[in-house]
Structure 1
Amino acid sequence: MRICLIILCCWMSMSHAATIAISCGAVGRQVELCREGVAIWEKRSGHKASVVSTPASSSERLALYQQLLAAKTADIDVFQIDVVWPGILAPHFVDLAKPLVGQVKQHFPTIIANNTVNGQLIAMPWYTDAGVLYYRKDLLEKYQQPIPETWSDMTRIAKHIMTEERKAGLDKMWGFTWQGRAYEGLTCNALEWVNSYGGGQIVESDGKISINNKQAEQAITMAASWVGDISPPGVLNYAEEDARGVFQSGHAVFMRNWPYVWALTQHEDSPIRGKVGVAPVPKSGNGQHAATLGGWQLAVSKYSKHADIAIDLVRYLTSEEEQKRRALAGSYNPTIPSLYQDKQVLAANPFFGKLVKTLNVAIARPSTVTGAKYNQVSAAFYNQIHQVLAGRQKANVALEQLSRQLLRVSKGERW
């Protein structure tokens, strides 16, 4: 009789278990850490979740998401979405404000506000980001060079060290790697250049299209001068992992990337372990440090057949416990302020203490003001910038054309 009861209880437990799917990114250790977090949740909840990997390019991932959501597919229950997508994808996601009300107050209010569209919390913050400058501290010490504050300093130091290292036989050494492919990553890089020169944010918070100005022209012209000089010609096809590959193999002095790269450079099999420093992204001589705000959120599809279970998965993955684990294992920046005072987190990521200041003043891409049209705005921006970087267009001409394009996208009215 007792055996029968045990079998019955097991059968009843299994009958209530469900299998859902979550999409995770493919950059760095994203998929690995996502699977680990999901596995912990599975043991605690009794449910199962399959992890679906997606394209590394955020632009390609958005296009895939739009196709899936337009089809109202139930194949994916939880979507990992970029910080600039809530306004684009909002109609397809569940309002998380009430079911996760107890957890919402733990997170940075600015990110919660970013994820709130028409009063509905479209997604929960998972990890946040801001662009940073990685540098080879051993090489700066070797050549007695300071950590660069300005773009001109960075360019000069990069050129000097690259030249000297090549003379010493390292013919693959470059000065600076970054994300130059025509995709969302280039928008992030270029916005940092433009804003640090005082050239605005492409479209301002009042809806004004501001990109066609002299400061922006100077910034883009400066960046174009790097290609084939301190940056490899192939940088025009680099995304995050391409830039990291060159830097982590020991073939670059500086790199612009996201904080997740830190843990990878410090891995036991990294050729540059212990030789890397992190600093703010440089500025123009008279400008300010400008780091583009990044980060990813978790949203629950309205078309999920197990929305309550999907919400529970989001509850765990965005919790303080899981965010701390991810910070320790992969240098992913928490969206919970208290974790930036955690001794274990700071020991594993010494630059996190300084990064809080960067996060508080990071530049938001103009996704809020442009709403559902942001993807068109960003694509127009990075495509025109790419033309300049590739030497096919002058910066002043490209920015004038871009301004006209954006005017057409806005239809001459408020966004």
Structure 2
Amino acid sequence: MHGAALGAALGATASLVHAQGVTINFTCGSTEQAEHCQRAAEEWAQQTGNRANLISMPNSSTEQLALYQQLLGSQASDIDVILTDTTWPGILGDHLHDLHQLLPGDITSGQFETVIANNTIDGELKAMPLYTDASLLYYREDLLEKYDRPVPRTWDEMTDTAAYIQQREREEGNRGIWGFVFQGRAYEGLTCNLLEWVVSEGGGLFLDQDGQVDVDNPATRRALERAHGWIDTISPRGTLSYVEEQSRGVFQSGNAVFMRNWPYVWSLTQSEGSPVRGKVGVAPVPSGSSGRHVSTLGGWSLAVSRYSRHPKEAAELVAYLTRRENQKYRAINLSYLPSYVDLFEDPEVLEAAPFIGTMRGPVEQAVARPASLVKTLYPRYSNAIFDRTHRVLTNEASIDEALETLNRDMLRIARRGFE
């Protein structure tokens, strides 16, 4: 074992025991997803004669990444298959096998090019998509209908409609309602939100392919000014501590008109006992002055550690867990977006989660965070972005101060990344 954290993780292992073959240790996400991975891994074990151990990981993705970096940095072989967030193929790429070398045939056929490109580092496929993600706007269909308001297409329209419905509802006695909730805590989710705000205003990713920094520009200023204006008007101050689940909690309890979040929320809002069941609609993330609707590319993938004692079998398990049939199951039962394009038109998928039929465009056009460019420096890059953004939203820094500091931070990171 390598460290107390790994010992605790391996101590919380669900064993899928088979009499013959090798043992593959793997990780696979949240409770609901892990349960499906466990069932699918048992099928694979029965078919191949191998064994698979599902290893529990910390809930926090930040803690997960830190544990992976500890294990892979010491070249530990304890975990064979690693669940990776969207930016991690770039961060962890040096420690991951090229799956093209381990699996036969065209293993990416039929999948979104944007997703595969995100997982390809220096020409090597570092991870296979378990499911993909693209952010979207949730809204209360019943309230928009009640006040005869259309689904907003722009951030300005959303802001105006949120303020109007919030005021009218409060006048009718619904004092707890707010217009809009999003992920405002100083963490990766705020980086995703800012990316959408800025690119929709015609801005870029703050760092281009040549390593040139472009932070202090009109697009970033417009985005920050608008978001700053939401706090305490249409968004509660508590938004500044929200991650995805806190945002969902407010919206699903009926206390928000609009919410920016990921597709997994859909199945939860429609679950038995949900106060907003049958009252929720989804739409593309609003556009800014550029007219472009911008979603951040998200999702989770499976990778094989370069230090696995059984890379061939580990890659076979990855292929099984990420295959089309298992992605269809997750789409139907968990409303997770598949990486296979044809499943966005599958009748069974659309019956269970109709909104998935509208998500092909947002996935194809989703903006990937530049982890494949800055690689191991990405955590520092993102930390600078969300920290300075959060300071603006909390009034700890003016936009001028925040952008000046962020520009300095980004220049320093860029110099290190392109030396």
Determine if the TM-score, normalized by the shorter chain, exceeds 0.5. Answer: yes
More moved, 395-404 vs 184-193: 395-404
- For residue 191 of structure 1, what is the amino acid of its counterpart? L
- For residue 414 of structure 2, what is the amino acid of its counterpart? S
Match status 1:69 vs 2:67 = no
Deviations 1:153-193 (A, max 9, x none): 11111122222222333322111111111111111111001
- Alpha-carbon shift at residue 15 of structure 1 (Å): 4.8
Match of 1:104 in 2: 108
- Alpha-carbon shift at residue 240 of structure 1 (Å): 0.9
- Alignment of structure 1 residues 129-278 onto 2, 5 Å: 129-278=133-282
Match of 1:407 in 2: 411
Structure-2 separation of matches of 1:288 and 1:398: 25
Q: 1:122 to 1:36 in 2, by over 3 A?
A: same
SS at match of 1:254: strand
Structure-1 separation of matches of 2:62 and 2:38: 23
Structure-2 separation of matches of 1:41 and 1:164: 55
Match status 1:91 vs 2:94 = yes
- Alpha-carbon shift at residue 342 of structure 1 (Å): 1.2
More moved, 166-175 vs 224-233: 166-175
SS at match of 1:278: strand
- For residue 307 of structure 1, what is the amino acid of its counterpart? P
Deviations 1:313-347 (A, max 9, x none): 11111101101111111111111112122111122
- Check whether the contact 1:205–1:366 (CA below 8 A) recurs between aligned residues: no
Counterpart selection for 1:126 from 117, 125, 130 = 130
Match of 2:401 in 1: 397
Deviations 1:277-329 (A, max 9, x none): 01011112443211111121100112223323321211111101101111111
Structure-2 separation of matches of 1:271 and 1:192: 29
Give aligned-pair identity as a percent: 49
Match of 1:383 in 2: 387
Match of 1:4 in 2: none
Deviations 1:81-137 (A, max 9, x none): 122221210121122103323322232233223222233221112111111000010
Deviations 1:373-400 (A, max 9, x none): 2121111111111111111011222112
Number of equivalences: 402
- For residue 323 of structure 2, what is the amino acid of its counterpart? S
- For residue 370 of structure 1, what is the amino acid of its counterpart? V
- Alpha-carbon shift at residue 221 of structure 1 (Å): 1.7
Q: 1:14 to 1:86 in 2, by over 3 A?
A: closer
- For residue 90 of structure 1, what is the amino acid of its counterpart? G
After superposition, the CA RMSD in angstroms is 2.0
- Alpha-carbon shift at residue 412 of structure 1 (Å): 7.1
Deviations 1:12-67 (A, max 9, x none): x95523433222223x8333333343343344334333333434443333222212
Q: Which runs of 5+ in 1 are unaligned?
A: 1-12
Match status 1:290 vs 2:267 = no
Match status 1:323 vs 2:318 = no
Structure-2 separation of matches of 1:389 and 1:264: 29
Q: 1:171 to 1:19 in 2, by over 3 A?
A: farther
